[in-house]
Amino acid sequence: MSTYQTLRIEGPSSTGVATVFLSNGKVNAMSSLFFQEIGECFTALAKDTNIRCCVLRADGKYFTVGLDLKDAASSNNTNETSDSARKALKQRLHVLELQATFTTLENCPFPIIFACHGACIGGGIDLSCCCDIRVASNEAWFCIKEVDVGLAADLGTLQRIGKLCGNASTIRELSYTARKFTAMEAKELGLLSTVYENNTKMLKGVYVLAEEIASKSPVAIYGTKINLNYSRDHTVANSLDYQATWSGPMLATEDLPKSFIASLQKKKATYSKL
């Protein structure tokens, strides 16, 4: 498995659980190298059929403080053209490239569990919105920070969070003010599914959950993720049609009779890799 300067990877374990750590100093600022590496990392992991579930964690004091502003400023200084239209087109391509690195998580065939401690600021929320399940320890806090540096969040928060959380008024308040909000408020909003008493209990709970998911049919899990993502972005009618098309060939899987037999025998089924 590849090694990275801003990330650290453990596993996959014998149960099919891999862990990716943000590991870019104490505060895990998101530099240009980080964006490059996280895209490369999850593109590679998506091809690893030994992985059934992934936990996304962080080393250091914070999960992430978001964009590395010094790195971003130095990168922008390399724009050689003085024409405003060409500058804008180049910047647009740059933003699309950064967005695509986070979308690699959404496109993985296995679920990703976002496990947050400390601060999760700016780009960290963009990243979390690409994960399947989000949990945090009680001391974690969040901030959609971009307006404080003169930007609109542009890597996915504004496009995804409204699909994840039901309170549009609160989402707009948090996005317009950049105020901090606690893990419990994030849970009440719907961004998190669970808030644990402390980091130790969070990690214990996360890996129990990851191993439970990893024990299921990988065909069933992949199909579930694909169709949940599709239905988020399409009408009910279109999503039902897509599901029917998907289910046709997928019902021929060997995992179906394996699951039935295991259920009748009150045993756990053993499934082949994707």
Mind listing the domains of the chain with CATH numbers?
A: 7-214 (3.90.226.10), 218-264 (1.10.12.10)
What is the average per-residue pLDDT within 20-44? 95
Computed over every residue of the chain, the mean pLDDT equals 93
Confidence of residue 58 (pLDDT cuts 50, 70, 90): very high
β-bridge mates for residue 21, sequence order = 8, 57
pTM for the whole structure: 0.92
Asked if 64 contacts 124 with a C-beta cutoff of 8 angstroms, the reply is yes
SS3 168: helix
Could you read off the pLDDT of 83-134 as tens digits, one per residue?
Answer: 889 888 998 999 999 999 999 999 999 999 999 999 999 999 999 999 999 9
| Structure tokens given for 53 | 């579930």
Mean pLDDT for 226-242 is 96
* C-alpha to C-alpha distance for 196 and 209, rounded to whole angstroms: 13
CB atoms within 10 A of CB 110: 25
DSSP output for 6-58: SEEEE---TTSEEEEEE-STTTT-B-HHHHHHHHHHHHHHTT-TT-SEEEEEE
Which pLDDT band holds residue 189 (cuts at 50, 70, 90)?
very high
Is the pLDDT score of 69 beyond 90?
no
218 touches 273 (CB < 8 A) = yes
Q: What is the pLDDT of residue 187?
A: 97
Query: Token digits for 102?
Result: 């986070």
CA pair distance 131, 124, nearest whole angstrom: 11
Q: Which two tokens stand for residue 18?
A: 């891999």
Average of pLDDT values for 53-61? 96
Q: Is 172 helix (H, G, I), strand (E, B) or coil?
A: helix
Structure tokens at 219: 């065909």
Report the percent of the chain where pLDDT is more than 70: 97
**pLDDT class for 72, splitting at 50, 70, 90?**
confident
All residues at 6 or more sequence positions from 87 whose CB lies less than 8 Å from its CB, including other chains? 79, 81
